[in-house]
Amino acid sequence: MATSAAPASAMRSLDRAFDVLAVLEDTRQPLRLSDVARRADLHVATTQRILNVLIDRGYAAKDDTSYVAGPAAVATAHAFLVNNRLSQVALPVLQELAATVGQAASLYIRVGLARILIARVQSRNPLRYQLPIGEKLPLHLGAGKALAAWLPDSELHTLIEQVTPFTRISGEHITAKDLEDDLHQVRKDGYALSISERVLDVTAVSAPIRRGGDVLGALSITGTGSELSEADHTRLISEVRRAADEIATRCP
């Protein structure tokens, strides 16, 4: 009995450590111990023990009385970028796409119910805001919809329940039914067109990178509304879908 209980206890501890690490990854500012515990849904004493281990390993750092993600997380991310086949294969396609359409081209992968930017090629006219590699963004806005639309039903329902209702940056109020219909249309069309959903006056055209039944990631181009006018949408959609398909065929 003791033999089976020990692995289960170790797994619970591991789960809790990842919960704490996820809290540190998602925050934009240092957090006090009580805040980390509350967001991770753990007791303060348990959270403190986990943070001490993470600090020893470099995955967390203490700033006076607050905590942030540590430098070891950067090394882990670097190892992923160096060894990830998708970003290596996609880079020349991103470069070609950005040059062809004159807009920034980005590559995202899904992690849980979020998306992470793993590669980007800027255009000759950079956007007024810059996204760093590793930025975690929502699935229900912008390019994230090109990933969310192919979620398994159970995960899709969880996403919709968690994020709705919400208001896009444009002021448009979105209900659960609205989001479900939107994602159903994205899946039917094979692309997502987003206008002022996450950032005002920014348009994104995105397509999933699909191989068989798997969605490997999402490819997206972004620009201002004046740069990506409605008259250009058909051409841009075609270019993005072609590039996404090309990446899929190049993946081993």
pLDDT bin (cut points 50, 70, 90) of residue 126 is low
Neighbouring residues of 68: CB distance < 8 A, sequence distance ≥ 6: 24, 27, 30, 31, 60, 61
DSSP letters, 141-179, are: SGGGHHHHTTS-HHHHHHHHHHH-SEE-TTS-EE-HHHH
Considering only residues 123 and 32, tell me which one the structure prediction assigns the higher pLDDT. Answer: 32
**Cα four-point dihedral sign 128, 133, 134, 138:** positive
Rounded Cα–Cα distance for residues 242 and 97 (Å): 9
Considering only residues 126 and 47, tell me which one the structure prediction assigns the higher pLDDT. Answer: 47
Rounded Cα–Cα distance for residues 138 and 163 (Å): 9
Distances (CA, A) of 1 to 5, 12, 15, 161, 182: 6, 17, 22, 39, 50
Map out the domains of the chain with their CATH numbers: 2-70 (1.10.10.10), 84-250 (3.30.450.40)
What is the reported pLDDT for 5?
A: 59
Q: Is it the case that residue 120 has pLDDT exceeding 60?
A: yes
Predicted TM-score (pTM) of this structure: 0.88
Q: Is it the case that residue 167 has pLDDT exceeding 80?
A: yes
